[in-house]
Amino acid sequence: MRFAIEFAQGNVDGIAVNTEFNLAADSGRPTFGSQTTVVYENYAIFLKKRNISIHSIADLAGLNVLGFNNATKFLEPEFAALMEENPLYSEVTDQSRQVLMLFNKRVDVVVADKLIFNYWLTRLIRLGSVELLDMRERLEFARIFAPAPRSVQFADETCE
């Protein structure tokens, strides 16, 4: 991952990472970690009228799924294995695109943190960039992922 390379080269001295991610191993540089700083609550998000039933990660099989950047690295290994076999799976760095693609019915399911998804939904409505889409359509949020705590890893122990 690019951030591990940047950390290894000394271009950055602190990175927010999944608490289970071993930045020291990936960068070859000692790290000093903070306490948990934020906990992401990722969901499988879909339009109710699509009549999709999602109660587990396995229910995503065969669906057109759009994840956030590196979702397969940050979420459960079961998700990564399932999406590796799914030719309809893709990821985006710009999470506003998840909202647009879901409401445009270009994907069946979006995998995102609920607060981040709702932020982009609200912002797109306010910007008027979604006038052709019915952004008030009812959404379903399936909690199929474990909470994802993040901490900050520092190069200097005095920063923690």
Residues of the chain with CATH 3.40.190.10: 42-142
DSSP letter assigned to residue 143: -
Highest average pLDDT, of 127-131, 133-137, 149-153, comes from: 149-153
* Per-residue pLDDT, 133: 59
Distance of CA 73 to the CA centre of its chain: 10
pLDDT tens, 96-111? Answer: 999 999 988 999 999 9
Burial of 91 (0-12, 13-18, 19+ CB in 10 A): middle
Phi/psi-derived region of residue 70, left when phi > 0, alpha when psi is between -120 and 50, beta in every other case: left
Question: CB–CB of 59/83 below 8 Å?
Answer: no
- The continuous run of DSSP H or E covering 25 comes out as helix 23-27
pTM: 0.81
Report, at the CATH architecture level, how domain 42-142 is classified.
Answer: 3-Layer(aba) Sandwich (3.40)
Burial of 70 (0-12, 13-18, 19+ CB in 10 A): middle
Q: Which residues pair with 65 in a beta bridge?
A: 109
Question: What is the rounded distance in angstroms from the CA atom of residue 116 to the CA atom of residue 94?
Answer: 11
- pLDDT band for 140, please (50, 70, 90 cuts): very high
- pLDDT band for 22, please (50, 70, 90 cuts): confident
pLDDT tens, 110-128? Answer: 999 999 999 999 898 888 7
Polymer length in residues for the chain: 160
